[in-house]
Amino acid sequence: MSDFKVFDYMAKHEFEQVVYFYDRTTGLKGVTVIHNTTLGPALGGTRLWNYESEDDAVLDCLRLARGMTYKAAAAGLNLGGGKTVLIGDATKVKSEAYFRALGRYVQSLNGRYITAEDVNTNTKDMNYIHMETDYVVGLEGKSGNPSPITALGAFYGIKSALKQKFGCEDISKYTFAIQGAGQTGYYLTEYLLEENAKKIYFSEINPKHIERMKQEHPEVEFVDPDKLFGLDVDVLSPCALGGVLNSDTIPQIKAKIIAGTANNVLLDEDTHGNMIKERGILYAPDFVINAGGLINVYYELMNQPKEKVLADIKLIYDRLLEIYQISEQENIHTQLAAKVFAKKRIQTIKNLHDNYIPR
Ligand code: NAD
């Protein structure tokens, strides 16, 4: 028997709501978690995964929903944090009915939660959900592929890190190592090339992506994946999977800055956040630097034009500088400083709404 206690976890991390659902027609089963809606409706994608146990699924959903609260708050958006996980084999369970069944559960939350794409769900699935609810973003013909925007946000984030660390953000003076040349890594490479980066190395494990880079940008040099962390470069940019900054990789790192698009890159936030800080490396907190995709769907939700998105993406630069200042003043690692920054905004807006003002 597992000793995981949902209510204890909810109380400890101040969750608002956990909704379990099972659809008898399609076999859809999953959970939606709403962490915090102080700033607005909870937004977070729907992840479909064949979890080993129900506890694993619920815990993943709880963690991801909480992460969304910080991400939205730090990005200055009027959104809360939420997430949905579906338990199932993505190669077997997906159908129109399956996602329409999910849409009905999303609708039942009456706008407290808005869903979007995530691992193993795509635009087509969102369109099915949309047949049953309006509380879904990332639809065909709307905000589009978030990856170029996410990469652009990371590009501004790299500039702000350069400014913070070296006092100069001129990309042409610096060298870069990019882990992963998939969606975001590829676009980030292009932004860096446009500003004449001194040298870019990349690592990849997908032969198609290696070939694409070699064909399109032969000046970008391929490096074996296990050599990437030890490269003598100015900026290391993780754009692949989570957990890559850990006790094995951190001691190898020669870069003075770590800034990329990947989520949950610190294997253990405090242990590895502190380890990076002690080594004098500036780490751009993942959920702040990679918020471009979320900012993009937020403006889709608000029916705002693309120019607004692009203007807001640029603010990632300033937000990170503010976070670095908190990190220095409070002598804490930058991931923690980013949480302080996000929590402060939530608390301030909450307090602001203490008095009754009719509108
Ligand atoms: P992607 O799958 O398109 O690209 C990741 C690439 O990394 C793949 O090509 C994969 O082959 C490669 N890779 C995997 N392991 C590797 C390794 N050990 N060494 C080198 N390469 C490796 O994914 P993406 O959309 O570019 O997302 C990358 C990261 O950014 C993820 O962590 C994702 O959660 C995060 N992120 C993406 C977005 C977005 O808009 N796409 C938004 C926010 C965060």
Same domain, 125 and 151: no
Same domain, 165 and 111: no
pLDDT digits (tens, 9 = 90+) for 115-137: 999 889 999 999 999 999 999 99
Give a yes or no: residue 113 inside a domain: yes
Which of the following is catalytic: 5, 12, 83, 208? 83
Give a yes or no: residue 112 inside a domain: yes
| Residue 3 pLDDT | 81
pLDDT digits (tens, 9 = 90+) for 143-187: 778 899 999 999 999 999 999 999 999 999 999 999 999 999 999
Side-chain-side CA neighbours of residue 79 (13 Å): 31
Same domain, 312 and 214: yes
212 lines ligand 1 (CB under 6 A): no
Give a yes or no: residue 242 inside a domain: yes
| Residue 173 pLDDT | 98
pLDDT digits (tens, 9 = 90+) for 249-263: 999 999 999 999 999
pLDDT digits (tens, 9 = 90+) for 67-107: 999 999 999 999 999 999 999 999 999 999 999 999 999 99
241 lines ligand 1 (CB under 6 A): yes
Return the CATH number at 317. Answer: 3.40.50.720
Locate the ligand 1 atom nearest the alpha carbon of residue 225 and give its number. 19
285 lines ligand 1 (CB under 6 A): no
Locate the ligand 1 atom nearest the alpha carbon of residue 147 and give its number. 40
Q: How far away, in angstroms, is 334 Cα from ligand 1 center?
A: 22
Structural domain span for residue 271: 147-344
Minimum CA distance residue for ligand 1 atom 30: 262
The residue-averaged pLDDT of 28-43 equals 98
State if pTM tops 0.95: no
* Separation between Cα atoms, residue 225 and residue 240, nearest integer Å: 11
The count of structural domains within the chain is 2
Residue 83 annotated as catalytic: yes
Cα–Cα–Cα angle for 161, 144, 303, rounded to 5 degrees: 95
> Which of 204, 229, 252, 265 for a ligand 1 pocket mutation test, highest count of atoms within 8 Å of Cβ?
204
Give a yes or no: residue 72 inside a domain: no
